[in-house]
Amino acid sequence: TNTETRRSLFFPAGTYRVTDSINIPPFAKLYGEGSESSIIKLDATADSTVGEYVARTADSDQNIGVNIGNNGSTAPTNISVSAMSFQTDEATDIFLIEDASEISIQDVTFRGPLTESNLTDASDDIACVRFSSTSALITNQVTLDMCTFTGCTYGINTNDAIEGATVSNCSF
């Protein structure tokens, strides 16, 4: 009943195949043994209905998109992700921070499908991390530290209002 209970999920070294987006709830902590050791990879080979992202923020009732924060649920807040990697070979964004506050991402690698040889079409519009907000829930207080962004059209992208995003010690 306490929506502020911290949920911790540890990913020992290894590659974890997912076929749908991981919805990260409020007050969650995801951590691994290093950005090259604990790898979450979106895999379309097993399922043709692959998720839109490798991972994304969700509210306390696992609502996403326009339903975040509805019916008294707690919007995404106080989320920590560290020492792991999110990857995909699909032409999709990797990580969505949506309608969220107080997000800390440290020592995380975001690896997309693009290389110098196939980065020729500017319409790809693939983001390693995408911020999304509504007028009612503006994404704010996001920190990305010691992260690596590769294989996407954009390291970080948004078309929405964002408040207080800090990017430091990162590689693009």
- Of 110, 121, 90, the closest CA to residue 150 belongs to 110
> What is the mean pLDDT of the segment spanning 45-55?
72
Residue 162 near residue 136, CB atoms below 8 Å: no
pLDDT at position 88, please?
A: 94
pLDDT tens digits, one per residue of 117-159: 666 555 578 999 999 999 889 999 999 999 999 999 999 999 9
Dihedral sign computed on CA atoms, order 130, 14, 60, 70: positive
Q: How many angstroms separate the CA atoms of 120 and 90, rounded?
A: 16
Q: Is the pLDDT of residue 47 over 60?
A: no
Residue 91 near residue 43, CB atoms below 8 Å: no
pLDDT at position 5, please?
A: 63
Q: How far is CA 98 from the centre of its chain?
A: 9
| Mean confidence (pLDDT) of the chain | 90
Q: Is the pLDDT of residue 49 over 80?
A: no
Phi, psi of 69 (to 5 degrees): 80, 5
pLDDT at position 95, please?
A: 98
Least confident of 12-21, 87-96, 121-130, 155-164: 121-130
Q: pTM to 2 decimals?
A: 0.91
Instruction: Give whole-number Cα distances, 171 to 87, 101, 144, 156, in Å.
Output: 16, 23, 11, 12
For residue 90, name the pLDDT band (cuts at 50, 70, 90): confident
